[in-house]
Amino acid sequence: MKNDKEVKKAKLFSFKNIVLDFVRITAAPGLLWFRPKHIYENEAAKKKIKGAAIVIMNHVGMIDPMYLMLAIWYRRHRFVCKADLMKSKLGGFWLRLFRCIPIDRENASFNSMRQIVDVLKEGNLVSMFPEGQVNLGSEMPAAFKSGMILMSVQSGAPIIPVYIKPRKHAYERIIAVIGEPFSVTEKYGPRPKFSQIDEAAQYLREKEIKLMELINKPGERKNENG
């Protein structure tokens, strides 16, 4: 029997992780081109993300996952994607290769939720777009789905809100605003009520709006990096 250290080492050097790391290495020119600029909500938000966490971000285009990976380049991302995207042979092949986790966002099954929770319990970073769809024509985030709250409760992983300013020109830098990690269980306990789950989802949406406002808010330059 392998001990926990050997199991973690095997996962660290698995073929799928090597593919992800190869993409991260070859994406170095992207870091130079987009020159990600970080603005932090506060000192707590400046800490590097370690261990299990759920990263949520506004969703305005299909290239958003790339922006998020460049903004948080030092971690592997396991993205949650729509199950329908897995149905095509070519699209499904690439999404599986990049270790995306399919979920029906309109009718999330227990098995889908369980898979994400298991990934989090292994200490991974799971990234998702809680609006559930691309929000075209508006910088204001739409209502958030509450599934992320349940995943956070079951896994114990904090939720980290990130707002990335929509780019209008190819030469623009990526501007990412990082929020303070939010622990659902610390706020509501291990068994939050349905009303508290909805309240937490609304709180995170309001937090996303505050992060958006920090981009142009005077006096926040002290929290910039890059």
Percent of the chain with pLDDT over 90: 47
Higher-pLDDT residue of 83 and 117 is 117
Q: Are strands 125-128 and 53-57 parallel, antiparallel or unpaired?
A: parallel
What's the predicted TM-score (pTM) here? 0.84
User: Residue 181 pLDDT more than 50?
Assistant: yes
User: Residue 10 pLDDT more than 50?
Assistant: no
Coil, helix or strand for 44?
helix
**Residue 217 structural domain:** 4-225
- Return the closest-CA partner of residue 14 out of 79, 76, 86, 72: 76
CA angle 86, 88, 90 (to 5 degrees): 100
pLDDT in tens, 42-59: 999 999 999 999 999 998
Of 46-50, 139-143, 163-167, highest mean pLDDT? 46-50
CATH of the domain at 24: 3.40.1130.10
Q: For residue 184, how many other CB atoms are within 10 A of its CB?
A: 28
- Return the closest-CA partner of residue 59 out of 185, 166, 161, 154: 166
Q: How confident is the model at residue 108 (pLDDT cuts 50, 70, 90)?
A: low
Q: What is the dihedral of CA 74, 75, 77, 78, to 10 degrees?
A: 170
User: Residue 1 pLDDT more than 60?
Assistant: no
Q: State how many domains the chain has.
A: 1
Mean pLDDT score, 138-164: 89
Higher-pLDDT residue of 212 and 98 is 212
Identify the burial level of 37 via C-beta atoms within 10 angstroms of its C-beta, where 0-12 means exposed, 13-18 middle and 19 or more buried: middle
Mean pLDDT score, 54-74: 91
